[in-house]
Structure 1
Amino acid sequence: MQNTPSTQNIALVTGASSGIGQATAERLAQAGYKVYGTSRRAAPAGRRGFEMLPLDVTSDDSVDALVQDLLRREGRIDLLVNNAGFGVAPAGAEESSLDQARAVFETNFFGLVRMTRAVLPQMRRQQAGRIINIGSALGFLPMPYMALYAATKHAVAGYSESLDHELRTLGIRVVVVEPAYINTPFEANLLPPDAPLEVYREARTGVEKRMKEVLVGADGPEVVAAVVLQAARAARPQLRYAPGLAGRMRWLRRFAPAGVLDAGIRRDLRLQA
């Protein structure tokens, strides 16, 4: 039997065991949402302001079971934050097999689509809801040696904007938040390429070293969490938000001459002109 709908706004945050997901879930809970976080693996022990539930976003059965369980508990879902994802360490696009490419898309893009499809029927019944997708600055400004991750985040951005147009008249809004470098455990757990080639080794190593240098002084995940809360509460949300450094990157993408931007990227990553 379905419970009486909760008087609190119910938020579901995927990939909430650490990093951006955990910071977002905590910020939403502090703001008065009743938050459920998810993790594919058992979440580490610790005090949280929200409940953690097991979820594999690559599994139809796991996603459907989680959403149905949440609806039995609360009767509604007001906010979905699609954060679960992973990346491949800096590598030439050629250095990842098709299987690895499919795995990245299965989590970063199709997992997001799967979650969205699972919650939309309830949001349509409510005639209200908000979906916030965590993208990346690489979704509007690709960088070399991160081609697969950038491709998934371009897909997330395109899907989000199209879906928002479709759902507005039903009382549902879709937003994509696109941070740049964020100092989180995510960056320390990137998968190595599964088909490495010697021809890319020097450049790959240099890009990875440069990324680690930048991350030392990068914003923490709370910067993204604050923007997610802003997007969740906004009466008329923007389609895309670029927190922190990403805002400056978006400005450069829009206004800087293409040749200047291209040269700047290569210079910053210590790549030959």
Structure 2
Amino acid sequence: MTQTKPVALVTGASSGIGRDAAMALTAAGFQVAGTSRKASGLTERDGFTLLALDVADDASVAAAVEQVIERFGRIDVLVNNAGVGTTGAAEERSIAEDQAVFDINVFGVMRMTKAVLPHMRAQRSGRIINVSSALGFAPAPYQAIYAASKHAVEGYTESLDHEIRGFGVRALLIEPALTNTAFEANTLPPATSMETYAKQRTAHDELLAAGLASGDDPSIVAATIVAAATDRKPKLRYTAGPMARRMSRLRRFAPASAFDQGIRKFNGLPA
């Protein structure tokens, strides 16, 4: 059934940024399908449709996109929000653990993109909005794998945008900093730990918990996603919130040595 309203598909919409984004897009006039790994069938929640989807599973991705097309007739905006975080020193984590993170944060974005692009190209319009992070352009001690996954999303999105722009489709980035969500509960620590890193790892985990508690409200990120979905002339990158904007300006304009020192100071590392 074709709808007169534009249609948005938001992954990871059961809580946090994804839920707020789905609600904000609904308020902005979109028909919204949100997804969650824990959803059962098609349900209505917070004013939008919620369906089951595991972005790390090819068949699940194909089935969910087909459900949305059958229900709404089209997809105008894809918001790739589903993801997981990491903690622990890079050396502590196994390759298998790192691959699992990339399977969600990076290949999940790619699976969803490949599934919706044929529909968007056929209708000669659409926006793929990938939720990256300020850690997509800045280093993150004790979150190296998460930062690496977001750096990968940045490179993929910017390159993809050039490939698909001629078809009337854009690929865009949302770059939030610390946001007051349950992100910590969805963060994967290493299965084994090394005493060498114990003190600094503990300090980092405490810093992360405090930063999330005092971070931006997810509604700020949601409003930025709506802007990316609706701006007449969209930008490639949208920093979301004051902390992300400060980090972006520092990354671009501060001397490399000063930025490096700032990262170490913020993370409580010796100069």
Aligned to 2:49, which of 33, 48, 51? 51
Q: C-alpha distance in 1, partners of 2:71/2:211?
A: 43
Confirm or deny that 1:33 pairs with 2:30. yes
Please give the secondary structure, in 2, of the residue aligned with 1:16.
Answer: coil
2:126: which partner in 1?
A: 129
Please give the secondary structure, in 2, of the residue aligned with 1:261.
Answer: helix
Counterpart amino acid of 2:131?
I
Please give the secondary structure, in 2, of the residue aligned with 1:143.
Answer: coil
Q: C-alpha distance in 1, partners of 2:219/2:95?
A: 34
1:99: which partner in 2?
A: 96
- Cα deviations across residues 70-96 of structure 1 (Å, max 9, x unaligned)? 11112111000000000112x110111
- Tell me, yes or no, if the aligned pair for 2:21 and 2:225 is still in contact at 8 Å: yes
Deviation, structure 1 residue 271 = 1.0
1:190: which partner in 2?
A: 187
Counterpart amino acid of 1:202?
K
Deviation, structure 1 residue 214 = 2.2
Structure 1 unpaired stretches of 5+: none
- Show the 5 A alignment for 1:199-214: 199-214=196-211
1:119: which partner in 2?
A: 116
Q: C-alpha distance in 2, partners of 1:163/1:262?
A: 30
- Greater Cα offset, 252-261 or 187-196: 187-196
- Cα deviations across residues 212-254 of structure 1 (Å, max 9, x unaligned)? 2222221111010000000110111110111111011000001
Runs of 4+ in 1 over 4 A off after TM superposition: none
Please give the secondary structure, in 2, of the residue aligned with 1:178.
Answer: strand
- Cα deviations across residues 196-227 of structure 1 (Å, max 9, x unaligned)? 11100101111111122222221111010000
Q: C-alpha distance in 1, partners of 2:268/2:66?
A: 50
Confirm or deny that 1:236 pairs with 2:233. yes
- Tell me, yes or no, if the aligned pair for 2:135 and 2:150 is still in contact at 8 Å: yes
- Tell me, yes or no, if the aligned pair for 2:180 and 2:215 is still in contact at 8 Å: yes
1:162: which partner in 2?
A: 159
Please give the secondary structure, in 1, of the residue aligned with 2:165.
Answer: helix
- Show the 5 A alignment for 1:7-86: 7-42=4-39, 47-86=45-84
Please give the secondary structure, in 2, of the residue aligned with 1:271.
Answer: coil
Q: C-alpha distance in 1, partners of 2:168/2:186?
A: 38
Structure 2 unpaired stretches of 5+: none
Deviation, structure 1 residue 182 = 0.4
- Greater Cα offset, 69-78 or 158-167: 69-78
- Show the 5 A alignment for 1:137-156: 137-156=134-153
1:265: which partner in 2?
A: 263
Q: C-alpha distance in 1, partners of 2:171/2:68?
A: 21
Please give the secondary structure, in 2, of the residue aligned with 1:242.
Answer: strand
Please give the secondary structure, in 1, of the residue aligned with 2:145.
Answer: helix
Deviation, structure 1 residue 264 = 1.3
| Number of equivalenced pairs | 268
Q: How large is the Cα RMSD of the aligned pairs?
A: 1.3
Q: C-alpha distance in 1, partners of 2:267/2:8?
A: 38
Q: C-alpha distance in 2, partners of 1:167/1:58?
A: 24
Counterpart amino acid of 1:187?
E
Please give the secondary structure, in 1, of the residue aligned with 2:106.
Answer: helix
